[in-house]
Structure 1
Amino acid sequence: MRHDRLSLEDLELVRAIGASGSLSGAVRLLEVDHSSAFRRLAAIEARAGAALFRRSRRGYTPTEAGELVIVAAQRMLSDAEHLARQLAGQDERAEGRIRITIPDTLATVAARLCADFRRAHPALSCDLIVANAFSTLQQRDADVALRASAAPPEGLSAKRLATIATAAYAARGAGDRSPIPGGDWVGFDEALAHLSSARWLQQHVPAARIAMRVNSLPAALAACQAGLGRALLPCYYADEAKGLKRLSDALPDVRTELWFATHPDLRRSAKVRLLREFAVDWMARELG
């Protein structure tokens, strides 16, 4: 019996179900309709001539046939994504769209950068994608990542754009005038333990003085605005926020670098190269 071929979209669905362990998880990963995904999986299994998953209350478990398809899907989709990046990297046209992934704290800065870039290069448009991981570049969900980290990201082509200054802040009406590092503080949980600001707090502020722990910089800023305690925040981010006052100069031992990162396959792309050169000059003016 001849089996109909599975498309890359079919393989993408099977891979997502295998990765998440459920159809609902795959739907969230792929951002597709649940009923459509359910029907597609049934059609895929009919074409394959075998059940690919065992259904239970605990989720979807791959059958032996499903394991074979998942392994093949990972290999084929990886090859397809690699080919797409290589083709995009050969694009010599300085036109079209550039997808930029950014952390949430960089939204305002990145929007201003893109506005100035668009005025200078009207044939190019930028899409901003808020995400806090570099994995979007590997999966081709984005062309460029702007990220703050102490060292350049491994496996990516990266250019340093600026050094990010960090200072101590408090709510504008806060009455505590004790010198730093005195007073109550907003701390960070394990998700942000890698930050230099988290290490500074650990070294200088007793645990009893941490009034709240958060897992994001926007949450730290909001807690600081609410008067829960002092916070270490990037100056480009907190200086523009309402209701805060800066308590210190930039702390020399709490600093990080801002990187322009892209997949190595895209480093020669004309539009990526144009944005990188523009961003280097722009960031030197705005954050330097």
Structure 2
Amino acid sequence: MLIPGCHYRLAFTQSILAFTQVINAATHYRLDYPDLSLILALVRGGSLARAARLLQVDVSTVFRSVRRLEAALGQPLFEKSRSGYLPTSLAQALAEQAERAEQALEAARVGVEQGGEVISGTVRLTCSDSVLQALLLPALARFMPAYPALSLELSTSNDFANLSRRDADIALRLTRTPPEHLVGRNLGNVVYRVCAGATYLRSANADDLASMTWIAPDDFLPDHPTVAWRRQHLPGVVPAYRCNSMLSVTELVRAGLGVAALPDFLIDENKGLMPLGEPLVGYDTALWLLTRPDCRALRSVVTLFDELGRNLRWG
């Protein structure tokens, strides 16, 4: 009888068998888990000494084992260089399979220890770097320790196409109108305020925004609410600094280089950011938690989606 939650491990086992069958057909050598562990240790360590420490054996054992495995497979796995042992494409592919085996084994161990179903697998999540830094990381720290068999692949992007192209399973996006083909949850309103660093304010006139040195998103974010507001209310202002992310804009403001309109979740007076007025009326947006309809059948995605919905907070 399969332990509940083993569908992921079964799929992984099938992929391992398919992969090894290709190798075995050509070499008549049957790869096993210790072989994969050896390759993974040397890929991770990059040298015989570090691989030996990871495997808790001596260096000569690693050297002999690699030579024996290469002879059995009939092709090299590593190339010796001044910087260490460089994996061939075959070794790199086998190391990736070994990592999945490692994750599956850990999921099985957790299942035995907890005596119940374990949420396992890999979920791909995309968000902007500002959302990652200010909102996502604190949320993950609150709940991810409860899911030791769940792996995340994080990427920073502002592009909805990540989900459309199936490059990601979950996205956190700042928008008023999420794409209709995605399903999700509105996590709350986000407002913007003009802010400056304390050091900059000592030499600037806070009542004259047009005379200040402006920092803004570049053409990578042409429709950003703060860009639309500045063009409408300060049409003569030409930003002295342009950045391809709001997190970079925030850091320049914090450094005292000028002013910018920032989202409320990035504004922290304790870290040197001073709001210069009320929120920009009519230029607010919302944080959306989004996924593809087909992902709602995956326990790993649904679990992460629900946890993010409960744990993402600001204000």
- TM range, smaller chain: 0.5 to 0.7
**Does the alignment pair 1:165 with 2:191?**
yes
1:267-282 to structure 2, matched below 5 A, reads 267-282=296-311
Q: Give the aligned residue type for 2:155.
A: I
Question: Does the 8 A contact of 1:211 with 1:228 survive in 2?
Answer: no
Contact map agreement 1:113 1:282 (CA 8 A) in 2: yes
* Aligned twin of 2:155: 129
Q: Are the counterparts in 1 of residues 170 and 305 from structure 2 also a CA contact under 8 Å?
A: no
Aligned partner of 2:124 in structure 1 is 99
Q: Which residue of 1 aligns with 2:168?
A: 142
Whichever of the two has the greater Rg, that structure is: 2
Q: How much is the aligned-residue C-alpha RMSD, in angstroms?
A: 2.6
**Conserved? CA contact 2:210–2:237, under 8 Å:** no
Does the CA-based 8 Å contact 2:190-2:264 persist in structure 1? Answer: yes
Q: 1:225 and 1:262, CA in 2 relative to 1: closer, same or farther beyond 3 A?
A: same
Matches within 5 A, 1:46-125: 94-108=119-133, 109-125=135-151
Q: Which residue of 2 aligns with 1:62?
A: none
Q: 1:208 to 1:181 in 2, by over 3 A?
A: closer
CA distance in 2, matches of 1:240, 1:156: 36
Task: Tell me, in whole angstroms, the C-alpha distance in 2 between the residues paired with 1:217 and 1:241.
Answer: 19
> Cα distance, 1:209 vs. partner?
5.3
Partner of 1:232: 261
Report the TM-score when normalising by structure 1: 0.59
Which residue of structure 1 lines up, in the alignment, with residue 314 of structure 2?
A: 287
From 195, 206, 211, the equivalent of 1:178 is 206
Deviation of 1:239 after TM superposition, in Å, equals: 2.0
Equivalent in 177, 187, 198 of residue 227 of structure 2: 198
Q: Supply the distance in 2 between the matched residues of 1:187 and 1:241 (Cα, whole angstroms).
A: 22
2:241 aligned counterpart, secondary structure: strand
Say which SS state the counterpart of residue 199 (structure 2) adopts: coil
Deviations 1:212-264 (A, max 9, x none): 33332133223323433210011212327844322234333231111111122
Does the 8 Å CA contact 1:166/1:232 hold for their aligned counterparts? yes
- Name the structure, 1 or 2, with higher relative contact order (CA <8 Å, separation 6+): 1
Task: Structure 2 unaligned segments of length 5 or more: list them.
Answer: 1-116
Name the amino acid aligned to 2:254.
Q
2:241 to 181, 187, 212: 212
Cα drift, residue 120 of structure 1: 3.9
Other structure's SS at 1:178 match: coil
Partner Cα distance (1:117, 1:149) in 2? 25
Is contact 1:186–1:210 with CA below 8 Å preserved after alignment?
Answer: yes
What SS does structure 2 have at the residue aligned with 1:254? coil
Give the whole-Å Cα distance in 1 for the aligned partners of 2:266 and 2:167: 26
Q: Answer with 219-228 or 108-117: which moved more.
A: 219-228
Looking at structure 2, the residues matched to 200 and 167 of structure 1 have their Cα atoms a distance apart, in angstroms, of 11
How many residues are paired up? 195
Deviations 1:7-66, CA, capped at 9 Å, x for gaps: xxxxxxxxxxxxxxxxxxxxxxxxxxxxxxxxxxxxxxxxxxxxxxxxxxxxxxxxxxxx
| SS of alignment partner, residue 119 of structure 2 | coil
Structure 1 residues 157-166 or 210-219, which shifts more? 210-219
Return the alpha-carbon distance in structure 2 between the equivalents of residues 116 and 208 of structure 1. 42
Unaligned 5+ segments in structure 1 are: 1-91
